[in-house]
Structure 1
């Protein structure tokens, strides 16, 4: 009786998490991998329920169908985990192993080899669990839920490998007869129920953590340009400046402003202006490096904190961006909308804070604008003449007023 009750726990728990993951997916339907987690637990719920209530009456086809349902659930989970990390799941290869296992089950069942059937089922499931744990180990170990899921999957894989052995030793470990078989069934059901619950809780924690990260990202990044908004940029820039001081590495700040942006809005409308902003932000993302920080600090004003980069190198980067932006087109209907940008740069001095660095780079930007726009100006002396477009540089103490 107790064994039967514990066996019913597994489909009940799986059904609860099927609904829970479906609700999480419904709340954010862009996360298709969450729907795969729901499908995984739905497959487990249906498969175990089928195995308890129906398979005994349908014989060999029922055994194969139960295994296919179980493998479908595991493959859905594998697909969801790999998609979450931007990888491609080897569904075809593992699907082929599931079909091969079904063939073994059919032959073993027809021959009455119960032990071979259980060995094939459990080994196939354990192998897929082990592969999922291995893939997670390579893709992500940063969050506690990822690390916990690795351990749960590894434990499930280990349980799958030793379960046939426990079955064979049941007479020795638990005594023979119905009582021993019931004890073994209870242990199997309890262990699986606990591990499946832990697996579901880890997956749920991963999904919730991903949603929170997405919300933080949306709060920190400008949806139009795709770069950080002012508050997030300044916070990250201050942290990177502090780290650069500790490492003794150069850091430069580039302040860029799109020239005559108001005229674009007046002549072509705000839709065209939005395209210009989006195009400039996309270009910054393509032409900066992974450790660089970009941000939109005003309507048409952008900043780049360039990691491990002195003034001359920052000037060269600014010039490359300036040329690329001047050559790009932001089409609106029949109009070829083209814009330019001006740049001001400054290299951080020792123990200099972000505000002082921004003030110097901003002052250089306004010198570039007063000199005719569509150019780069530096606050400080360049090591070499990087380009004739870098038309202006000034000593550290020279600051100009806006105008």
Structure 2
């Protein structure tokens, strides 16, 4: 019992540290609360012989551990489904309390009493299992957590038959800690608790690292993905689109006369224009779309489940909306505009091929006077790009550098 309490304290400190390190880790704070309730239950039980196991103390042990399990389940629901099923969890918790009242007068060694007592714990834990099952992404980490949670829930149902096999749990409550069943039960609980804490800790650390990675992938000025992050997300999205055989389109956009904006109004205004355009792209972005800033004033958008006609309308709406914005924040009467190239990607087409094609469409938009949208034309040279396979991490920068030759700047 002392080992279980010590484990609970160590785990409690860990989850508190996770929650304080990243304030978005609300599940970790619920698991911290679970540790508090679990440690409280253990401390009461550990100090019971001097207190002679009063009815209130026995209920406190049971209720504190039920709260512990409820907090674990709430944390799992927040992590995997971003919501808490307040009514179901409340019903399950209250049912556990009522069950305790109903079995409190049954003999301590009664198998029925043991099954109801431990079954209530198992039911609360299964609420957490349901959250992982419904929200998991089938990763190895989530599969492991699901397996550990199932083992944790089944651990309670295994205790009643073990109690019978080992000769009971003591004639009186005070005798419990001296029985073989208590040793086995507490050892089982320590093992599954360590496994669960380890799995939850790994899940939390992975989430924190993912948040850190995501922050490093975001261009702070525009809010769009950085060039390398854009490349990674595009690779994932194209794989998904090819697997589902859904259309996708590519838009390349460039702010017009951006160098003139910087030279005339200063880099502070130029930064504001970039930020305004990035915010506009984010407001237009749909679930599944990928938006990246691949150059100083150049952005690329991969539209999922989108054909050429829809992509053209998307780009035209972006163009007209940006033209109507006061992108300089009232610091100048100058109206900023942008030019757009659009193409629909072919089935299983390499990104480099589509990028080459949409790059030429953007060049045509610039040559046509800027502030317009141009569709990519079929080009037999695309076959060479398609043969190149997936775009390299620095391919976008190389392509952009190559494009400077022959293009009117801005």
Q: Shared fold by TM > 0.5?
A: yes
SS in structure 2 of the partner of residue 228 of structure 1:
coil
SS in structure 1 of the partner of residue 407 of structure 2:
coil
Which residue in the other structure is 1:160 paired with? 156
Which residue in the other structure is 1:18 paired with? 12
Note the alpha carbon deviations across 1:23-42, whole angstroms, 9 max, x for none: 22232233122122222122
Say whether the 8 Å CA contact 2:152–2:196 is kept in structure 1.
no
Which residue in the other structure is 2:365 paired with? 368
1:137 aligns with 2:133: yes
Which residue in the other structure is 1:4 paired with? none
Note the alpha carbon deviations across 1:367-402, whole angstroms, 9 max, x for none: 323433221022317xxxxxxxxxxxxxxxxx9821
Which residue in the other structure is 1:229 paired with? 226
Q: How does 1:385-396 map to 2 (within 5 A)?
A: none
Say whether the 8 Å CA contact 1:363–1:401 is kept in structure 2.
no
SS in structure 2 of the partner of residue 305 of structure 1:
strand
Q: How does 1:51-62 map to 2 (within 5 A)?
A: 51-54=45-48, 56-57=51-52, 59-62=54-57
Q: How does 1:256-335 map to 2 (within 5 A)?
A: 256-262=253-259, 273-307=270-304, 309-328=306-325, 332=329
Which one of 29, 32, 55 corresponds to residue 23 of structure 2?
A: 29
Which one of 392, 398, 407 corresponds to residue 402 of structure 1?
A: 407
Which residue in the other structure is 1:82 paired with? 77
Q: Structure 1 122/263 Cα, relative in aligned 2: closer, same or farther at 3 Å? A: farther
Distance in 2 (CA, whole Å) between partners of 1:100 and 1:310 is 54
Say whether the 8 Å CA contact 2:323–2:335 is kept in structure 1.
yes
Say whether the 8 Å CA contact 1:34–1:207 is kept in structure 2.
yes
Note the alpha carbon deviations across 1:117-154, whole angstroms, 9 max, x for none: 64443222110111211221111042323212222222
Which residue in the other structure is 1:345 paired with? 342
SS in structure 1 of the partner of residue 167 of structure 2:
helix
RMSD: 3.8
| TM-score normalized with structure 1 length | 0.79
SS in structure 2 of the partner of residue 345 of structure 1:
strand
Q: Give 1:91 deviation, angstroms.
A: 3.5
Aligned residues: 379
1:209 aligns with 2:214: no
Note the alpha carbon deviations across 1:225-257, whole angstroms, 9 max, x for none: 332211222344466667878988765431112
1:148 aligns with 2:144: yes
Using the TM superposition, name which of 126-135 and 292-301 deviates more: 292-301
SS in structure 1 of the partner of residue 179 of structure 2:
helix
Extract unaligned runs of 5+ from structure 2: 379-403
Distance in 2 (CA, whole Å) between partners of 1:107 and 1:249 is 57
Q: Structure 1 352/43 Cα, relative in aligned 2: closer, same or farther at 3 Å? A: closer
Say whether the 8 Å CA contact 1:60–1:106 is kept in structure 2.
no
Q: Structure 1 350/106 Cα, relative in aligned 2: closer, same or farther at 3 Å? A: closer
Distance in 1 (CA, whole Å) between partners of 2:127 and 2:95 is 17
SS in structure 2 of the partner of residue 367 of structure 1:
helix
Say whether the 8 Å CA contact 1:170–1:180 is kept in structure 2.
no
Distance in 2 (CA, whole Å) between partners of 1:247 and 1:157 is 37
SS in structure 2 of the partner of residue 171 of structure 1:
coil
